[in-house]
Amino acid sequence: MFVMRNHLFPAALIVTLVLAGCDGSPEPLSLPGDAEIRPELLGAWTAEDEDGEVLMLQVAAFNDSEYLAIMDGTEDDMDGYFRVWESLVDGDLFANIQCVGCDDDDGFLFAQLWADDTTMTGSWVSDAFYELVKDAETSQE
């Protein structure tokens, strides 16, 4: 069942989902399963960008630990599909965000997400975080 609710979602985060895919990591922080679905993230989230265009992000549970996020009407009027799951790193949850149907080279973006009854906010990780992930991957090889 998909629950629709009106929520506000920062337009900058939506736009960055589309535009920043090439700056990610080739590997996720972990495989899915570190964290269960958080019900407060589910639903329909809307935002208005600086041009007054309304953007919509729909987030649904794909299974017990993964989300399917669909961004309606991206810049080229095509929907964007994203596979998302959270990984526990030093006691904090980080979202692994992978574009579905994009180039395999796009990799994963990482962010922290918070939501309450009306607003979802997100914070992208720093470039230094990606460097730590890259260093950890290299040391495991």
Q: What is the pLDDT of residues 120-139, one digit of tens each?
A: 888 888 888 888 877 666 54
Whole-number Å distance between alpha carbons of 119 and 135: 34
73 in Cβ contact with 63 (< 8 Å)? no
Q: What is the pLDDT of residues 6-64, one digit of tens each?
A: 555 655 555 455 444 446 788 899 999 989 999 999 988 887 767 777 778 899 999 99
Which residues does 41 contact at the CB level (< 8 Å), separation at least 6?
59, 67, 113, 115, 120
Whole-number Å distance between alpha carbons of 110 and 91: 15
Sorted by where each begins, the domain ranges of the chain are: 7-140
